[in-house]
Amino acid sequence: MSVRLAPTVTPDTQFFWDGLREGRLLIQRCVQCGRLRHPPRPMCPSCNSLAKDAVEASGRGWVYSFVMPQHPPDPFIEGRYVVALVELEEGVRIVSNLRHVDPDDVTIGMAVEVAFETFDGDVVLHQFRPAVLL
Ligand code: ZN
């Protein structure tokens, strides 16, 4: 089993990491104006409200942008890997790895879906993979 660094959890992001452990991708929502935002933060950028809750995302989206880091090598990932900015169908963007796909086959606009992967050290992370189109 592969290893990943554990995320830094703060009071503002606790719900997000707890959601991943439950197999849920949670997106922060402003209670006052309804705007979704990610990454989680204390104040709404639209209306400055501090009132917030979270909604569960579908996990479906598309590749908005991506890179294949070369140097320095990641000590926890062997070989080439893809870091993608995924735009969720709810309209917010989230950074993740794209897995289960040849890096040469990744394209902008590619349909992807979330998968929850548990890494050694009991770390659960959101990862994306090509969407299964039914
Ligand atoms: Zn707001």
Q: Tell me: the pLDDT tens digits for 78-103? A: 888 999 999 999 999 999 999 999 99
The confidence score (pLDDT) of residue 126 equals 96
**Residue 22 CA to ligand 1 centre (angstroms):** 27
Nearest in space to 29 (alpha carbons), one of 50, 7, 59: 50
Residue in 15, 10, 11, 25 with CA at minimum distance from that of residue 125 = 25
Is residue 3, in this structure, part of any structural domain at all?
A: no
Strand order in the sheet with 52-56: 36-37, 26-30, 52-56
Residues 114 and 131 in one domain: yes
- How far is ligand 1, taken at its centre, from the CA of residue 55, in Å? 14
Same domain, 100 and 62: yes
> In this structure, are 33 and 70 located in the same domain?
no
Compute the distance from residue 128 Cα to the ligand 1 centre, in Å. 28
- 17/46 same-domain check: yes
Question: What is the number of domains present in the chain?
Answer: 2
Residue 31 within any structural domain of the chain:
yes
Q: Are residues 81 and 32 in the same domain?
A: no
Mean pLDDT of 14-35: 97
pLDDT, the chain, mean: 93
Q: Are residues 72 and 52 in the same domain?
A: no
Q: Is 36 helix (H, G, I), strand (E, B) or coil?
A: strand
38: CA distance to ligand 1 center in Å? 13
Which segment of 30-44, 52-66, 69-83, 90-104 scores lowest on mean pLDDT?
Answer: 69-83
Å from CA of 52 to ligand 1 middle = 8
Give residue 93 CA to ligand 1 midpoint distance, Å.
17
Is residue 77 within 8 Å of residue 12, measured between CB atoms? Answer: no
**When comparing pLDDT for 77 and 35, which is higher?**
35
Distance from C-alpha of 60 to C-alpha of 126, rounded to nearest angstrom: 12
pLDDT digits (tens, 9 = 90+) for 115-133: 999 988 788 999 999 998 7
Residue 25: count other Cβ atoms within 10 Å of its Cβ.
23
Q: How far is the CA of 24 from the centre of ligand 1 (A)?
A: 23
- Global pTM? 0.91
> Is the distance from CB of 103 to CB of 122 less than 8 angstroms?
no
26 CA distance to ligand 1 centroid (A)? 17
Q: Is residue 2 part of a domain?
A: no
Spacing, Cα 37 to ligand 1 middle (Å): 9
